Structure 1
Amino acid sequence: MKNLKIYLGCLAVAASLFTGCIPQKEYVLLQDKSTEKKYENPYNPLDNITDKYFLQPNDYLFINVSTPDPKISEFFNQNASNSGNMQRNQNFFYYQIDDSMNIDFPYVGLINLDGCNVKMGKAKVQDALKPFLKEYNLTFRLASNTFTALGEFRNQGVQTMQREQITIFEAVAQAGGITPFGKQRKLQLVRQMPEGPVTYEIDLTDKNIINSEYYYIYPNDMLYVRPMKAKQFGIGESFSIGIITTLLALYLTLQTVIN
């Protein structure tokens, strides 16, 4: 009977070591899940990377018209003509898209960019300049490149993007990574589309995300990682339920041996 109690106590210690830990499949990234029973790839293939972002109200655009004649260039960049230091006053080249998806361009007037990505928006400005210019160079790019990270990120908030599209893992790294209590299998991506915001659920532990349409994120995307239930008990990252159960099981084992 005594040996049975010792055996049961040791079994309790071993069990606590396993049950007190977060399963590996919950936090290991890019797992091959094709061997799992009834697994089906939930992601559509990636067709292209660039030109998938569509301009939105309140976006800022960097637009500059350059011609062989500096005076003509100044005429179409009127906001910058009052300064001799172009670099210091480069903010004058920024144009904000209004609620009607228009920008007010010098001399040309309103240019509507509704339903345009960056490439299409540039083409619209070029079309608007055709009646006035024959030889010129147009710089047109998105100036407000940011995404938002919320929930179980170590560095929450608005993050600046260095490119118009970055991978979702670059975004996670830029936000400081996900805490041990973040549900990496259920990351929510909220994306602004022309018809309105759309929410997608992404499993970062599934390697099929690499070749999917959600591998890249775009300006104005929002990432949200929900916390695991363990966080509701107020347990921090450096302290685990496994520690409590292990100590309790060890105490019970020692009591059994002594008795």
Structure 2
Amino acid sequence: MHLFLKSNFAVLGALIVLMMLNSCGSRKEMVYLQPDSSNVNTIYEQFVPKIQPNDILTIVVSAPDPKVVAPFTSISVNAAGSPGQNVDLALRPTYTVDSEGYVILPMLGKIKLAGMTRLEAIAYIRKELEAYINNPSVNINFNNFRVSVLGEVAKPGSFIIPTERLSVLEALGMAGDMTIRGVRSNVLLVREINGQKTIHRLDLTKQETLNSPYYYMAQNDVLYVEPNKTQINNSKLGSNASIAISIAGLLITIISLVTR
């Protein structure tokens, strides 16, 4: 009888060990950007986000003489202050890019900015202003550069970014990084290009991902980290898992007492 119980105890113990090993991820599955033969030559300028319809832009025009600038901005002369002063964010004029990619600026009228980078748009508007203002200065910022990080991360959610330069790893960092249950080799990125949703997969365990055109994020990108098989299986078990573990623990205790 004791031999039978000991045999079952050994089998039960082996099963528990196997379950624990199965739930553990290997280093290959967990470590980001593992070295390989790839040459890292990511150039951010190749992947700078472009202005899109429905973007909300802050466009501030300034010049040495604020009175000259007044007709070209919705900020009052007094609010604009001197060129060395920062304009309060609440006073900065915002413009929504329409469905055709245009914004309407004071005096300049309807200007198409969609498809340009922020720096290209600054240079374009500055050139248009030079016909009216000597040495004009233009600053443009995205007001709605928002990305969402969902799935197996510590703090999923949407984040508004003060700059358009944001990598996938930085976005994950803002969300508290992936949990140990996240699949690092198959991260999903959803991006809208010319009104169409596109889907891209990133293997963050490989160094070659640094060269991906999707390594840097664009406005309204959604990053999704899927759960690994262990997490999926655990979710299927639900509350039954805790009951099974409790029963297994009780059986181990009883067998230990009987076989003493």
Same fold (TM over 0.5): yes
Give the TM-score band, short-chain normalised.
Answer: 0.7 to 0.9
User: Is this contact kept in 2: 1:16–1:249, CA < 8 A?
Assistant: no
Correspondence for 2:17: 14
The offset of 1:139, in angstroms, is: 1.7
Partners of 2:10 and 2:234 lie apart in 1 by 33
- 1:84 alignment partner in structure 2: 79
Q: Residues 84 and 163 (structure 1 numbering): CA distance in 2 closer, same or farther, change over 3 Å?
A: closer
Aligned to 1:72: 68
In the TM superposition, what is the alpha-carbon distance from 1:256 to its structure 2 partner?
A: 8.1
Across the aligned residues of Structure 1 and Structure 2, the Cα RMSD in angstroms comes to 3.6
Q: Could you say which structure has the higher helix fraction?
A: 2
Correspondence 1:2 to 2:3: yes
Q: Give, in angstroms, the shift of residue 159 of structure 1.
A: 0.4
SS state at 1:11 partner = helix
In structure 2, do the counterparts of structure 1 residues 257 and 210 end up closer, same or farther at CA, with 3 Å as the change threshold? farther
Aligned to 1:37: none
Q: Find the counterpart in structure 2 of residue 153 from structure 1.
A: 153
Q: Distance in 2 between matches of 1:45 and 1:192?
A: 26
For residues 1-259 of structure 1, the aligned pairs below 5 Å read: 2=3, 5=7, 7-19=10-22, 21-25=23-27, 28-30=30-32, 32=34, 47-50=42-45, 52-77=48-73, 79-81=74-76, 83-84=78-79, 87-88=87-88, 90-194=90-194, 196-228=196-228, 229-233=232-236, 235=238, 244=244, 248=248, 251=251, 255=255, 258=258
How far 1:85 moved relative to its partner?
6.5
Is this contact kept in 1: 2:33–2:205, CA < 8 A? yes
Q: Distance in 1 between matches of 2:92 and 2:162?
A: 21
Q: For residues 162 and 55 of structure 1, do their structure 2 counterparts lie closer, same or farther at Cα, with a shift above 3 Å needed?
A: same
Q: Corresponding residue for 2:84?
A: none
Maintained 8 Å contact 2:29/2:205: yes
User: TM-score, length-normalised on structure 1?
Assistant: 0.77
Q: So what's the TM-score if we normalise by structure 2?
A: 0.76
On the 8 A contact 1:45/1:213 being kept in 2, the answer is: no
Runs of 5+ unmatched residues, structure 1? 35-39
Distance 1:149 1:204 in 2: 15
Secondary structure at the residue paired with 2:171?
helix
Tell me, in whole angstroms, the C-alpha distance in 2 between the residues paired with 1:232 and 1:12: 20
| Number of equivalent positions | 247
SS of corresponding position for 2:189: strand
Cα distance change of structure 1 residues 68 and 18 upon mapping to structure 2, 3 Å threshold: closer
CA 1:235–1:116: 2 relative to 1, 3 Å: same
